[in-house]
Amino acid sequence: MDAIDAELARAQEERKKMEEALAAGAPMAVSSPLWKGIRSHRGKVLAAFLKAIGFIIPLMDALYASYYTKEVMQILIREFQSPDEEMKKIVLKVVKQCVSTEGVEADYIRNDILPEFFHHFWVRRMALDRRNYKQLVETTVEMANKVGVADIVGRIVEDLKDESEPYRRMVMETIEKVVANLGASDIDARLEELLIDGILYAFQEQTSDDANVMLNGFGAVVNALGQRVKPYLPQICGTIKWRLNNKSAKVRQQAADLISRIAIVMKQCQEEQLMGHLGVVLYEYLGEEYPEVLGSILGALKAIVNVIGMTKMTPPIKDLLPRLTPILKNRHEKVQENCIDLVGRIADRGAEFVPAREWMRICFELLEMLKAHKKGIRRATVNTFGYIAKAIGLQDVLATLLNYLKVQERQNHVCTTVAIAIVAETCSPFTVLPALMNEYRVPELNVQNGVLKSLSFLFEYIGEMGKDYIYAVTPLVEDALMDRDLVHWQTAASAVKHMALGVAGLGCEDTLVHLLNYVWPNIFETSPHVINAVMEAIEGMRVALGPAVILNYCLQGLFHPARKVCEVYWKIYNSLYIGAQDALVAAYPALDDDGDNIYSHPELAMFVCSMLVASEGGAMFRIYFPLGILTRFAEEFP
């Protein structure tokens, strides 16, 4: 009996696989057994059949999809009231798949599905199970895509005032996604009032730590409504001010975060006076002791400054900036990032409102920020250096940065060199290069390495502008490439790479060949960092000088009797061949044919070679063709 049972199970498994294959290829072929199945089975078996139908209906033509959706929906609506959690998840997924299918009409969904769907699924218990919660939100959003915003939001807007917080959160998340997808043009005046009232209630009544859903929902609704929010802004701002004064740190943080979400809409509604008032309130709270809350307050101030502008800002920028300088000492990442962004924005757009002495004080504080662990903070700091240099003149800022090059710590070093390069890009390189090259005369490895790294970043940032400065820095790079220190070689090679890539095709080949003569002897280095930098410099030279020049350097060592020499040259040749195999054809030596081999490579042979690339043999021919020439060349001229 066991053998018979096993055989039956195997046959059923094979039949199931066949049905799945048919479903993928011809949806109509398997519909008959599935329709019989959903009418004759219950429980887990029915769930499996429904799941199969859910994947088949989207594959049908619009006419068939509409018909079969109506057929299966009778079973689905019956299963809406099933107590089984697994069945609920499957029913929700199948409803989502059917509703999203072309051919299923909005009127049918609105009249036949929505009433039962909301009656059975939009209940508090669904918000407690995370998987059900997620599937219900997704299905409801899919229905909204078909029937519109008003039909869905109108049915759940009252639930924003429900007693259960998890349920309110689920309602808010659904409204956020629906409004973000479809906008708020469908929402009439009455629904608008209910919606604003509901989100205000839900926002004020939240007690859990997960505040993002409420904040995102509030922001999405206000941004979607746009200028229609204007009558409600005094009420919203009154709520924010009241909550900024709350004893709970979380409540204060949420209120500040909400300001940053709605600042753009307040600008659209021309409520600049209200924003100015909020700016003064936030300014008074800059003494906040909790760093998370302080970070949010700074973020809100940044949002207001962005939209209201420097001239209309209250408090005035000249009063605001001195209050921010001591906050830069705060070591909390959120506070640092928002504070530097705000200072950078003021330096960019309103530097004239603040005396130069205050900017220098900020420069010294910013140097400490270069040690921050978070990359976003370091990047914001470096950009702010550029804005300040542009605002108050280069000399003082550059002097501060050059002094900081003497610091031993690597991260400080790198960030300082990047800051110097940004300052050069902002204020033009000719203002920075003389001081930078003069600093290289200091007989201290750390400073010299910092100068070289600054040059590397500088030429990377300025790109084609480098053609005006490459001749000036060539003697300095020469000196570095002849130095005994490995790090000098490495950094100088990196600078050479960026110089070469920046001036490719701009007529600086003479100085590049000169620099290549200094880079090339380092190809036998064993230090991995140095050899990487050297190889990258040679790659940069390939782009700027052309592969033929590099091939001429390569030919001297490809067939050297020493294996270690030979390997290095072949490594360079291989990367050269990968990067520019077509351009190398013209540079291969012209050799006479012998009795056994043909070494000539006329244009027709090159054309046939390129046509053969698609086949494996063609690819091999393409690879070994030039190698054969080089081998023959070595035999001819040992």
pLDDT in tens, 136-154: 999 999 999 989 898 899 9
Q: What percent of the chain clears pLDDT 90, i.e. is strictly above it?
A: 8
Residue 362 has a pLDDT of: 82
Residue 24 has a pLDDT of: 45
Residue 614 has pLDDT above 50, yes or no: no
Write b or e for each residue in 390-420: b if 16 or more Cβ atoms lie within 10 A of its Cβ, otherwise e: bbbebebbbebbbebbebeeeebbebbbbbb
Residue 357 has a pLDDT of: 80
Q: What percent of the chain clears pLDDT 70, i.e. is strictly above it?
A: 86
Residue 218 has pLDDT above 70, yes or no: yes
Residue 606 has a pLDDT of: 58
- DSSP of 42-76: -HHHHHHHHHHHHHHGGGS-HHHHHHHHHHHHHHH
- Burial (Cβ within 10 Å: 0-12, 13-18, ≥19) of residue 49: buried
Residue 616 has pLDDT above 70, yes or no: no
Dist. CA 220–CA 175, nearest whole Å: 9
Fold designation for 15-147: Leucine-rich Repeat Variant (1.25.10)
Tell me if 185 sits within 8 A of 153, measured CB to CB.
no
Tell me if 417 sits within 8 A of 454, measured CB to CB.
yes
pLDDT in tens, 576-612: 888 887 777 777 777 777 777 777 666 655 555 555 4
Residue 629 has a pLDDT of: 45
Which tokens in the block code for residue 345?
């924005």
Dist. CA 226–CA 222, nearest whole Å: 6
302: Cβ contacts below 8 Å, ≥ 6 apart: 260, 338, 341, 342, 345
pLDDT in tens, 289-313: 899 999 999 999 999 888 888 888 8
H helices of 247-332, in order, are 249-268, 272-284, 291-308, 317-327
Report which of 254, 269, 330, 329 is spatially closest to residue 299, judged by C-alpha positions.
Answer: 254
Q: Which CATH architecture has domain 152-315?
A: Alpha Horseshoe (1.25)
Question: pLDDT tier at 30 (50, 70, 90 boundaries)?
Answer: very low
Span 250-275, average pLDDT: 89
Residue 266 has pLDDT above 70, yes or no: yes
Q: What is the pTM of this model?
A: 0.68
Span 111-124, average pLDDT: 88
Question: pLDDT tier at 171 (50, 70, 90 boundaries)?
Answer: very high
Which tokens in the block code for residue 354?
């603040």
Tell me if 343 sits within 8 A of 324, measured CB to CB.
yes
pLDDT in tens, 536-561: 898 888 888 888 888 888 888 888 88
Residue 209 has a pLDDT of: 67
Span 486-496, average pLDDT: 84
The reply to whether 15-147 and 152-315 are identical in fold is yes
Residue 618 has pLDDT above 90, yes or no: no
- On average, the pLDDT of the chain sits at 80
* Domain layout of the chain by residue ranges: 15-147, 152-315, 589-638
Residue 32 has a pLDDT of: 64
pLDDT in tens, 313-340: 888 888 888 888 888 888 888 888 898 8
Q: Which of 11-25, 98-112, 173-187 has the lowest mean pLDDT?
A: 11-25
Residue 427 has pLDDT above 80, yes or no: no
SS3 content of the chain, % helix, strand, coil (to 5): 80, 0, 20
Residue 278 amino acid letter: L
Residue 25 has a pLDDT of: 42
